[in-house]
Structure 1
Amino acid sequence: MARLKRVAGERPLFWVGSSKEDLLAFPEPVQDEIGTALSVAQFGGKHPSAKPWRGEGPGVFEVVEDHRGNTYRAVYTVRFEGAVYVLHAFQKKSPTGIRTSKRDVELIARRLNEARMDFEVRYGKV
């Protein structure tokens, strides 16, 4: 059941671009695990499955979840004080290796910039 009110100490969660719709297209067990990791982030913690995202500096994390032979990822940031921004949710489809596609990496960088701009507008600071 979804909560309508925030709990004391809970950071607001913001979705950038199509990240929410993309996450909702994942299998339910994957949605649950990623949702739990995001909830932990909202309370200032780091879920065991959240790992630093390389390339964008501190405060950007990815949650990787495997389900029935497929790999799903969600990338979020806690870089901005008092807020969590979900930058991207995607199914990894690299034909070889573990490298994330250039398209996804570039999209995450763009959305991180969008999150920064949104935070500045909402809160008047970075």
Structure 2
Amino acid sequence: MADLKPVEFRGSALDDLRAFPFPARREAGHQLDQVQNGQDPDDWKPMSSVGKGVKEIRIRDDGGAFRVIYVAKFVDAIYVLHCFQKKTEKTAKTDLDLAEKRYRDLLKELGQ
């Protein structure tokens, strides 16, 4: 079995994920595990407005709608940029801006 790419959380993303209700947290873990195994999550969409190669995992449960924004195109790790509960139909600009800032900071760190 190939080595799994580690998952690295940026900023407060891990704490934000831990704040999800248990079923949504478990589902997020399962979806990230699929990404680690080279598969796409069950429900996702590209987030090119945040950055090249950035994707959003979409999770729905009784507690509401939850999102995990990540990028997996780099060799060394899967980077989770932002985790949040979606309150409206349209993703809040503050959530998109935060994910975009973390993506830009990551690119600088990686020398991209």
TM-score by length of 1: 0.79
User: Gaps spanning 5+ residues in structure 2: where?
Assistant: none
Residues 22 and 30 of structure 1: is their aligned pair in 2 closer, same or farther, counting only changes over 3 Å? same
Bigger Cα displacement from structure 2, 106-115 vs 50-59: 50-59
Cα-Cα RMSD: 1.8
The alpha carbon displacement at 1:108 in A equals: 0.8
Q: Which structure has the bigger radius of gyration?
A: 1
Separation in 2, partners of 1:107, 1:61: 14
**Mapped partners of 1:30, 1:114: distance in 2:** 27
Greater relative contact order: 1 or 2 (C-alpha under 8 angstroms, separation 6 or more)?
Answer: 2
Q: 2:80 aligns with which of 77, 86, 90?
A: 86
C-alpha distance in 1 between matches for 2:16 and 2:91: 17
Give the aligned residue type for 2:28: I
1:60–1:76 contact (8 Å) kept in structure 2: yes
Distance of 2:109 and 2:6 partners within structure 1: 13
Within 2, Cα distance between the matches of 1:10 and 1:116?
22
1:10-58 deviation per Cα after TM superposition (whole angstroms, max 9, x unaligned): 1111100000000001011111111111111122221222221241354
Structure 1 runs of 4+ aligned residues shifted over 6 Å read none
TM-score of the superposed pair, with normalisation by structure 2: 0.87
Aligned residue-pair number: 112
Helix, strand or coil at the partner of 1:75: strand
Supply the distance in 2 between the matched residues of 1:66 and 1:112 (Cα, whole angstroms). Answer: 25
Match of 1:106 in 2: 97
Moved more, 65-74 or 10-19: 65-74
**5+ residue gaps, structure 1:** 1-6, 121-125
User: In structure 2, what is the equivalent of residue 119 of structure 1?
Assistant: 110
Query: What CA distance in whole angstroms lies between the structure 1 residues aligned with 2:96 and 2:50?
Result: 10
Is the 2:51–2:100 Cα contact (8 Å) retained in structure 1? Answer: no
